[in-house]
Amino acid sequence: MKLHYFPTPEATNTLSTDQLRERFLIGELFQPGTVVAHYTDLDRMVVGGAVPTSSPLGLPADKELGTSFFLERREIGILNLGAPGVVRAGATRYQLATLDCLYIGLGEKDVAFENGTAGQAQFYFVSTPAHAKYPTAHATREQAKSDPIGDPAKANRRRIAKYIHLDGIKSCQLVLGFTEFEPGSVWNTMPAHVHSRRTEVYLYFDLGDNLVIHLMGEPTATRHLVVRDREAVLSPAWSIHSGAGTGSYRFVWAMGGDNQVFSDMDAVPMAQLR
């Protein structure tokens, strides 16, 4: 499990392109036959991917967690980005179709990822520390609360599908869903904002050969990352997280921190961006 320790805003402004990518961008999450996980010091979030092939895959129990098993003091949200597959939690097997979500709460010791029979399942997961147990819950793509937002004239008309949130699957602190765009719209999270009380992680997917120019950094000292398919961007509370694609794409968003109020954000006036 790779560790990510984050620089201050002042130090971030001095980083080279390669250094910026090393600290804020996660690639190669989806490797056949293995689980890849990254532990961050941003609200102690763990970000990972599991691509089971012929054998089931379990969650890691690395020493960085400080526990005897992965979910001993954690909760996890899982989104299947590939073909249908199975996640087993204890004695129960959950069939996850493409873009189905599974939440597993604090204390579940036995979790396994299994491939289906009609292609390759690709499970993306985000985990946060938890101090209370909530029940395991499965939500299909059709069951996700989906809200439209944005303006086609500003190329940012999009739909936000919410799975784990205050009015959906209950959790201790994790919030998770994904965003997709209407034809002709390419901008995400613009106008920009920051989350003073929460960390956010974006995983861009379904890009194909397209790419996203992801804006990050302090509002008055923005930086950028060139992001490709199935790469994740780690966003500290002080950083904006916004981007524009060269074509269609989706992204998974996940948050952890002081609250679960989706609208709790600090807007950045467009005139302030630099």
All domains in the chain, ordered by first residue: 2-272 (2.60.120.10)
| Closest among 46, 50, 56, 40 to 6, alpha carbons compared | 40
Q: Name every residue whose Cβ is closer than 8 Å to that of residue 53 and which is 6 or more positions away in sequence.
A: 32, 33, 115, 120
Residue 132: pLDDT band (50, 70, 90) is: very high
**Given this model, what pLDDT does residue 71 score?**
97
**Given this model, what pLDDT does residue 198 score?**
86
pLDDT in tens, 232-270: 999 999 999 999 999 989 999 999 988 788 777 888 998
Answer whether 124's CB lies under 8 Å from 145's CB: no
Q: What are phi and psi of 107, to 5 degrees?
A: 95, -10
**Given this model, what pLDDT does residue 118 score?**
85
pLDDT in tens, 209-240: 999 999 999 999 999 999 999 999 999 999 99
